[in-house]
Structure 1
């Protein structure tokens, strides 16, 4: 499973960087969004995801005596917060790019007046 997560993180970072280097402003915004999601997948993968076995239980397992291994909920809470913040950032950046389109009548950043 760690190889699949590493490949997913690598592909997301590569595609986000590819979009970030485009001339189209909307593609740049989507590149930033994909890079933030790649960082979230990276943080979740470093948070201790293991293969499910018969002796693992959720965090709310109050009635199990030996308390088997559980996932760290702090990492999940931080990533959930980062997802909400990146959604707001993407919406704000898309609104700014629409305003830039209204001002310059193009979304190609190489054609903007200096």
Structure 2
């Protein structure tokens, strides 16, 4: 009861190419990648269903030889859902083409602003000591025993590195 090696390789190939295309910035490639990915997963589901057997009709064959209809039902449902999502993605790509003249997915500027704000909050939290006093105030009071320069303000580049 082992699946055909060709089907396993085909399913793995479709899933790999689909994931690669999903990571692209063009909506057209994303749509093609989604279609390939869903077809590869559908083939995997059919492979997992086992070998073909007798039709699941009551009173006909031996029950041990009947094939399981559940994987086929899953695949039919997945095909319908994939068709709906593909239609939505096509509409989105067409609208993007109408508005921008291209279908490239842009970076979300608001996400970038939120990430920058989180980094600034982390830097501000690191500048406080355990007792809540600023690190700069403690550094000004500390005695430099190495004979080096007195404490200097941390530059913006050093803050970003923190």
Superposition TM-score tier, normalisation by shorter sequence: 0.7 to 0.9
Counterpart position of 1:8:
10
Question: What is the alpha-carbon distance in structure 2 between the residues aligned to residue 21 and residue 103 of structure 1?
Answer: 23
Match of 2:49 among 47, 53, 56: 47
Match of 2:72 among 54, 73, 76: 76
Work out which of the two has the higher radius of gyration on C-alpha atoms and give 1 or 2: 2
Partner of 2:90: 94
Contact 1:57 1:68 in 2 (8 A): no
After superposition, the C-alpha distances for 1:38-77 in whole angstroms (9 at most, x for unaligned) are 1111111101125xxxxx532226344x445121101111
What TM-score do you get using the length of structure 2 for normalisation? 0.58
Aligned partner (choices 31, 34, 38) of residue 32 of structure 1: 34
Instruction: Check if 1:106 corresponds to 2:102.
Output: yes
Which structure 1 residue ranges, 5 or more long, are not aligned?
A: 51-55
**Does the Cα contact within 8 Å between 2:54 and 2:67 map onto a contact in 1?**
no
Once the 2 structures are TM-superposed, how far is the Cα of residue 10 of structure 1 from its aligned partner? 0.9
Instruction: Give the superposed CA RMSD.
Output: 2.2
Structure 2's unaligned 5+ residue stretches are: 110-162
Pairing partner for 1:57 from 54, 57, 60: 54
Measured at CA, do residues 60 and 104 of structure 1 come closer, stay the same or move farther in structure 2, by a change above 3 Å? same
TM-score (norm 1): 0.79
Select which of 5, 22, 25 maps to 2:24: 22
Question: Following the alignment from structure 2 to structure 1, what is the Cα–Cα distance between the partners of residues 95 and 33?
Answer: 19
